[in-house]
Amino acid sequence: MNGDSIRVKVFRFDPSRDREPYYSDYSVPFEKGMSAMDALDYIYQNLDGGIAYYDHAGCSLGICARCTGRVNGKPGLICQTAVEGDIVLEPVNKDKVIKDLVTRRGG
């Protein structure tokens, strides 16, 4: 972390277009108390509007679990995971990716 910003590495994959998954790196302004969802919202609103994820419209309270993903390799709710430094965001199951961090639910 360079003091005022963090590096956010995001899993990217669109099975209808990409042959292989890849990661995109973004520099995001750091604010104390921010969540991983806040970082994704910043990326979507300011850097890359093409990124796919379940945003705050789901609930942002940790109830609906639509934003379940991996933050630095650990499964959890992206909207409830506090950011303290550089992070890597990935879907829980890369085999069920619809696009980027959005995955199919169920079997």
Categorise residue 94: left if φ over 0, alpha if ψ from -120 to 50, beta otherwise: alpha
Handedness of CA 23, 20, 98, 93 (dihedral sign): negative
pTM over 0.85: yes
Chain segment 16-25, per-residue pLDDT in tens: 999 999 999 9
Q: Give the pLDDT score at 65.
A: 79
Chain segment 87-96, per-residue pLDDT in tens: 999 999 888 9
